[in-house]
Amino acid sequence: MTVTVQASTFVLNIIDLKPFLKNPESPEALAECAKASNGRSAAEALEKYSALAVRDPRVSEDQSSSFLDTMEDYFAQPTEAKLPDARPEFGYQVGVTPENTEKPKCGRDESCNKMVQEMAPENKPLPYDGVDPKWRFFWRIGEAPKETQFARLNAAPVVPAAFPQWETVMDTWGTLMHDAVSVLAEMLAVGFGLPRDTFVKMAKYGPHLLAPTGSDLERYGKVGTVLAGFHTDLNFLTIHGRSRFPGLHIWTRSGTKLLAKVPEGCLLVQAGKQMEIMTGGATTAGFHEVVVVEDTVKAMERQQARGRPLWRISSTLFFHMASDSLLQPIGKFDTAEAREVYPPILTGKQVQKELGLISLMDKNTV
């Protein structure tokens, strides 16, 4: 049996935020939200691919480059300089998560393993039953709740000792990502036929996390190396800036494996489990993996020519519903069939359960 290392390249559908920012009720804005003649609306793209590209006029390549440079310098530090930034007592939900800590949840999910077994060989993921060799840093973005049942999901931030500019860099990029994905959440609500503020109201006080990963390509730069094993995200929406190193595979709803290409000047957005629950499965959490492919090696050569560290950074933000909100199918998605598959659960409980599956937190601990 063969497994595809580098799948066919797919240029993600682009959703332009500019018309909605200018006038959310204009025909141009509504076409980006819902049924569009070009078939590239936000709602349609997420339902089909669980992923899309966003063009936000407020975000520049220079801002992305500044953030990536800082994160490359941070992760390129010796291990002993980074370990004091880890907070395992908070399920690594703030500070740094060391390499070989996080496990792809599909390795412990019977239904996920069954799905993989039924895939055609060319669509199967690379092995996902071990630990990921990537590091990660979690930094809280947005206002924390004044009261919550889930204090461990809303812990105080960690500031690395060697980076006096850390708070400014993280807050600047994190706020840009948060603002972009918040606008998209409004557009998706319109596209799904829900009140415009449906998702952003529930996301207020959510534990939004700027969550860049760092993978050491000097050690893990061989083609076929899995940097982040096959999985879905547990939150509502995940947004990334463009990485300097290709290697993100996504799966369409029909099960086709594709190498995602984010157009220049765009951001990548993926649907998470919280969106799947709230839409009763109309939009599913998108499966993905990050691996070293042939194009990654070419990017490594370019990075070496720039004299920069060989660390693959993902400039990721996880956009969450508030921990104390009730997660369940809503609006037109609230049917008897959907409620049977997705019974109501406090968002914080859903997060804790998922963190337990990826070995970051005891799923029974508040």
Higher per-residue confidence, 266 vs 148: 266
Higher per-residue confidence, 6 vs 253: 253
Per-residue model confidence as pLDDT tens digits over 200-209: 999 999 989 9
Q: Longest C-alpha distance within the chain, in Å?
A: 58
Query: Is 12 contained in some domain?
Result: no
Q: Which residue has the tokens 């060697």?
A: 162
Q: Is the pLDDT of residue 3 over 70?
A: no
Per-residue pLDDT at 146: 77
Per-residue pLDDT at 359: 52
Query: Is 8 contained in some domain?
Result: no
Q: Averaged over 273-291, what is the pLDDT?
A: 95
Q: Is the pLDDT of residue 360 over 70?
A: no
Residue 279 is part of a domain; what is its CATH number? 2.60.120.330
Could you tell me how far CA 247 lies from the centroid of its own chain?
A: 15
Measured CA to CA, the distance from residue 297 to residue 280 in angstroms comes to 40
Per-residue pLDDT at 365: 41
Query: Is 242 contained in some domain?
Result: yes
pTM above 0.75, yes or no: yes
Q: Averaged over 111-140, what is the pLDDT?
A: 93
**Quick check: 96 and 158 in contact, CB under 8 A?**
yes
Tell me the pLDDT band of 105, cut-offs 50, 70 and 90.
Answer: confident
Q: What is the mean pLDDT of the chain?
A: 90
Query: Is 216 contained in some domain?
Result: yes
3-state SS, one letter per residue, for the chain: CCCCCCCCEEECCEEECHHHHHCCCCHHHHHHHCCCCCCCCHHHHHHHHCEEEEECCCCCHHHHHHHHHHHHHHHCCCHHHHHHHECHHHCCCCEEECCCCCCCHHHHCHHHHHHHHCCCHHHCCCCCCCCCCCEEEEEECCCCCCCCCCHHHCCCCCCCCCCCCHHHHHHHHHHHHHHHHHHHHHHHHHHCCCCCCHHHHHHCCCCCEECCEEEEHHHHCCCCCEEEEEECCCCCEEEECCCCCCCEEEECCCCCEEEEECCCCCEEEEECHHHHHHCCCCCCCCCEEEECCHHHHHHHHHHHHCCCCCEEEECEEEECCCCCCEECCCHHHCCHHHHHHCCCEEHHHHHHHHHHHCCCCCCCCC
Per-residue pLDDT at 21: 97
Query: Is 37 contained in some domain?
Result: no
Q: Which residue has the tokens 């480059």?
A: 65
Per-residue model confidence as pLDDT tens digits over 193-248: 999 999 999 999 998 999 999 999 999 999 999 999 999 999 999 999 999 999 99
Query: Is 79 contained in some domain?
Result: yes
Tell me the pLDDT band of 364, cut-offs 50, 70 and 90.
Answer: very low
Per-residue pLDDT at 144: 77
Measured CA to CA, the distance from residue 354 to residue 164 in angstroms comes to 33
The domain in which residue 69 lies consists of 42-357
- Lowest-pLDDT range of 7-16, 88-97, 352-361: 352-361
Tell me the pLDDT band of 361, cut-offs 50, 70 and 90.
Answer: very low
Percentage with pLDDT > 90 across the chain: 73
Q: Averaged over 112-116, what is the pLDDT?
A: 91
Measured CA to CA, the distance from residue 364 to residue 366 in angstroms comes to 7
**Total domain count for the chain?**
1
Q: Is the pLDDT of residue 363 over 50?
A: no
**Quick check: 195 and 33 in contact, CB under 8 A?**
no
Per-residue model confidence as pLDDT tens digits over 55-66: 999 999 899 999
Per-residue model confidence as pLDDT tens digits over 128-148: 988 999 999 999 998 877 777
Q: Is the pLDDT of residue 1 over 70?
A: no
CA distances from 177 to 139, 167, 323 (A): 13, 15, 20
End-to-end CA distance of the chain, in Å?
43
Query: Is 213 contained in some domain?
Result: yes
Per-residue pLDDT at 321: 96
Per-residue pLDDT at 7: 80
Copy the structure tokens of residue 342.
């997705």
Tell me the pLDDT band of 362, cut-offs 50, 70 and 90.
Answer: very low
Query: Is 149 contained in some domain?
Result: yes
Measured CA to CA, the distance from residue 341 to residue 280 in angstroms comes to 8
Q: Is the pLDDT of residue 9 over 90?
A: no
Per-residue model confidence as pLDDT tens digits over 288-333: 999 999 999 999 999 999 999 999 999 999 999 999 999 999 999 9
